Structure 1
């Protein structure tokens, strides 16, 4: 009976909300249209050029077996540290460089190809959902805060909190699934080459078909992402017009006031709860009475939380698999809290250090939908992917060589005695 009541409540509540939203769109068509155009601009100028090349490349690299090759080489790092397969390193590097929701999209692809288990996929997408550097440096620090130096603080805190979230989420589901230890069986590069050949033969698609499928899947995914961005832009605008956001702001202020959060920051947190860009804009434009450190902490939390818009995108993307959205939702909250905490700890030292460090001019520009900007962005983000992969590979090789030395040392001692 209880399950039936819950089912009835869910069905009728969803229907009522849908009817209410439809009536609101009819009552406020101008506001809805304006919000839809703003959402479309964000998708076209920022999301589409940032993600399309990497979606296509990721699909092609999976079909060619390159991801399998990297998985073997990076297993010594990813398995002991994050409790995910080595292929997760590719998802991690792409997520760090390209921004959300590419981490969840690539994790879904790994799960569809049985390259990770359900729990491993949930762990992986929980800490690979990160913002891209250009968004934090250009859009937030320069465009919304008018302070380029803040970009470094926000980015460092964001990535440190992401890695910390990965270390926490490695324990997710440890009671449901035996932890797979990393076993050093030697001949790492040889096994990686064999894995690449095996994966390519198993896929079997000609290169032309592989490229066509990659472009088709990427476009469909980006249209899905764009639809969610536009939808949530409209919903937030409607809630603002109806006064729902002001009611939520009042309620949230009563909760956060005891810990010293300035009242002018509450609207940014409410907006950021739904959509990351709107939340950061509100934080950056908050009154001068709000301390800069509180504004920056709020932006750090909002970027890490990433908004219900991204959550809905991820839920839709992973719906074709058996992975659950609940660990992702929990991880976003942990990521947000840690990002705000790291921002508080790093604010003064990072500002002092970064004042004297030159930052690429490209990171001092706001996102814009021009061909030259798209090209510069592609070059910059591609270099970041390779840099992240090179760092991960270097760490993995150190761990592998150290493990080999320990094994040799133990064998020599065993022979001696």
Structure 2
């Protein structure tokens, strides 16, 4: 026992020294290369201000309002018959999944953290939920990656199918995570009542418990969402500078050598190594580097798909800053991201085979691109319309499936009960 405690204390002390040394090293490097650090910070700031801030802030505020009004509780009861058997999470998990699917990183982390703080799920359920709801939005995969980076719209469906299918597989695998810490108990007396009535009662009870007026709820939602979006902006700028400093110091070249060896082992072109290095830290830069690499198309798409599923250390840092205060551990999340990346890359290989890829081309949807003469406001309104439509469509499909499952279970229980007499 004493040996274990001593070893743990030694690791903790070593980690503290490494973190201190790393921080001092980066600070000195920033002082030595001020122009590179400044340019990288400006690039990160522009990305946050022009893309992240206007795209995510309204949905952050909306999710806060929906939780305060009890709408999320209503959805949670309706979707319990679907989410519990599949992923072993409460029905409210479907709300986080829908918002994450439509809005992208790190929307799911924000919502999952709110669920945990409001005691709508346990810590282990939050870890399961975070494992598979951390996904890229379809506009990014269809528009930015397939059209903007690769210039091949048909690749959008391939990347998206691989991304979401692998995400659901991760969710099913992680339903077994932390079973020994499960606190969920099924109350047959409650679950046998009418699901619509229970959902309405949950909505009313949540609103009564909240006790805030609409004006106060709106103000609190804006304040909380602004704090979150500023936190995300800080991480985007920090990692933009961090990656540039590592590049200037030649650290990324060393990592590229390591990744080149790994690519050689699996038979992939080593020219994709810089893309893996960039993608390890930042999703956009990694996907762009993969699309521009001098390598076979199938290998470039596979690497890009893996990078999108991994999502980058920058996104992981944002997620950690959001969820760490709610008691959600990051280790299961990181394992899930690595598993998601491997599964997405593997599924992409299968989907890129000629007969399969020909069928997937039929699923390619039109992507709304913003012409050069279109102003930013029009582009933003278009994005809101598309994301809002996707959220409503996903929730409607899942609610219909969940109610159908509930009705089938009720009928089966009714038939079984009468057949026993």
Common fold: TM-score over 0.5: yes
Q: Residues 311-345 of structure 1: CA distance to partner in whole angstroms, max 9, x if unpaired?
A: 11111111211110111000001111111111111
Unaligned runs of 5+ in 1: none
Q: Residues 153-212 of structure 1: CA distance to partner in whole angstroms, max 9, x if unpaired?
A: 111111111111100110001133266458541311001111100000000100001011
Tell me: CA distance 1:51–1:9, structure 2 relative to 1, closer, same or farther (3 Å).
Answer: same
Unaligned runs of 5+ in 2: 1-5
Q: State which of 46, 52, 59 in structure 2 corresponds to 1:47.
A: 52
Give distance in 2, aligned partners of 1:247 and 1:130: 29
Query: Are 1:225 and 2:235 counterparts?
Result: no
Matched with 1:272 is 279
Query: Are 1:412 and 2:392 counterparts?
Result: no
Matched with 1:101 is 106
Query: Are 1:257 and 2:278 counterparts?
Result: no
Q: Residues 343-393 of structure 1: CA distance to partner in whole angstroms, max 9, x if unpaired?
A: 111123554235445633415879x98111111001100000001101111
Q: State which of 368, 378, 387 in structure 1 corresponds to 2:384.
A: 378
Q: Is the 8 A contact 1:301 1:337 kept in 2?
A: yes
Tell me: CA distance 1:351–1:50, structure 2 relative to 1, closer, same or farther (3 Å).
Answer: farther
Q: State which of 105, 124, 129 in structure 1 corresponds to 2:134.
A: 129
Moved more, 189-198 or 174-183: 174-183
Q: Residues 115-170 of structure 1: CA distance to partner in whole angstroms, max 9, x if unpaired?
A: 00010000001111000111111111111111111111111111111111100110
Give distance in 2, aligned partners of 1:349 and 1:330: 33
Q: What are the residue-to-residue correspondences of 1:189-338 with 2, within 5 Å?
A: 189-287=196-294, 290-338=295-343
Displacement after TM superposition at 1:72 (Å):
0.6
Give distance in 1, aligned partners of 2:369 and 2:397: 21
Matched with 1:3 is 8
Query: Are 1:390 and 2:396 counterparts?
Result: yes
RMSD: 1.7
Moved more, 74-83 or 3-12: 3-12
Q: Is the 8 A contact 2:139 2:367 kept in 1?
A: no
Matched with 2:158 is 153
Q: Is the 8 A contact 1:148 1:364 kept in 2?
A: no
Moved more, 372-381 or 351-360: 351-360
Displacement after TM superposition at 1:35 (Å):
1.2
Q: Residues 39-62 of structure 1: CA distance to partner in whole angstroms, max 9, x if unpaired?
A: 122212222222111101000000
Query: Are 1:173 and 2:178 counterparts?
Result: yes
Moved more, 115-124 or 31-40: 31-40
Find the residue that maps to 1:131 and give its secondary structure.
coil
Query: Are 1:340 and 2:345 counterparts?
Result: yes
Q: Is the 8 A contact 1:137 1:363 kept in 2?
A: no
Tell me: CA distance 1:179–1:65, structure 2 relative to 1, closer, same or farther (3 Å).
Answer: closer
Query: Are 1:82 and 2:95 counterparts?
Result: no
Give distance in 1, aligned partners of 2:363 and 2:66: 35
Question: Size of the alignment, in residue pairs?
Answer: 412
Give distance in 2, aligned partners of 1:410 and 1:179: 26
Query: Are 1:187 and 2:191 counterparts?
Result: no
Tell me: CA distance 1:210–1:305, structure 2 relative to 1, closer, same or farther (3 Å).
Answer: same
Q: Residues 33-90 of structure 1: CA distance to partner in whole angstroms, max 9, x if unpaired?
A: 1211221222122222221111010000000000000111110001111100011111
Moved more, 343-352 or 290-299: 343-352
Q: Residues 265-303 of structure 1: CA distance to partner in whole angstroms, max 9, x if unpaired?
A: 11111111111111111101101xx11111111111111
Matched with 2:3 is none
Give distance in 2, aligned partners of 1:361 and 1:128: 23
Query: Are 1:117 and 2:122 counterparts?
Result: yes
Matched with 1:22 is 27
Q: Is the 8 A contact 1:79 1:182 kept in 2?
A: no
TM-score, normalising length: structure 1: 0.95
Tell me: CA distance 1:317–1:68, structure 2 relative to 1, closer, same or farther (3 Å).
Answer: same
Find the residue that maps to 1:319 and give its secondary structure.
helix
Moved more, 328-337 or 29-38: 29-38
Find the residue that maps to 1:186 and give its secondary structure.
coil
